């Protein structure tokens, strides 16, 4: 995380309590049982140019399904539809 975010990017950080929700998700656990997805994630983790690889992998339906699942957990859609007061 530290190599991807600087202290100038606090709005891009996910609170620890929301990250813990990822570990509790049965849907996410199911996706992570897929060996192809696990290999994609390992490749991204080990890559020097993560940004380019992420752009490539966001064309992979399985990776997009994984990313969408993570986002639904940490940013539920109900909050997206609420207008600020």
Distance between CA atoms of residues 31 and 38, nearest Å: 9
Q: What residue ranges do the domains of the chain occupy?
A: 16-74
Asked if 18 and 74 touch (Cβ cutoff 8 Å), the reply is yes
DSSP per-residue letters across 32-48: TT-HHHHHHHHHHHH-S
Question: Mean pLDDT for each 10-residue chunk of the chain (85 residues)?
Answer: 53 81 94 96 93 93 95 78 53
């Amino acid at each position: 995380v530290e190599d991807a975010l600087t202290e100038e990017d606090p709005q891009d950080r996910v609170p620890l309590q929301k990250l813990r929700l990822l570990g509790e998700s049965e849907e996410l656990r199911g996706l992570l049982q897929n060996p192809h997805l696990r290999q994609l994630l390992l490749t991204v983790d080990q890559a020097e140019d993560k940004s380019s690889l992420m752009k490539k992998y966001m064309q992979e339906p399985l990776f997009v399904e994984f990313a969408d699942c993570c986002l639904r957990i940490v940013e539920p859609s109900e909050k997206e539809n609420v207008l600020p007061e």
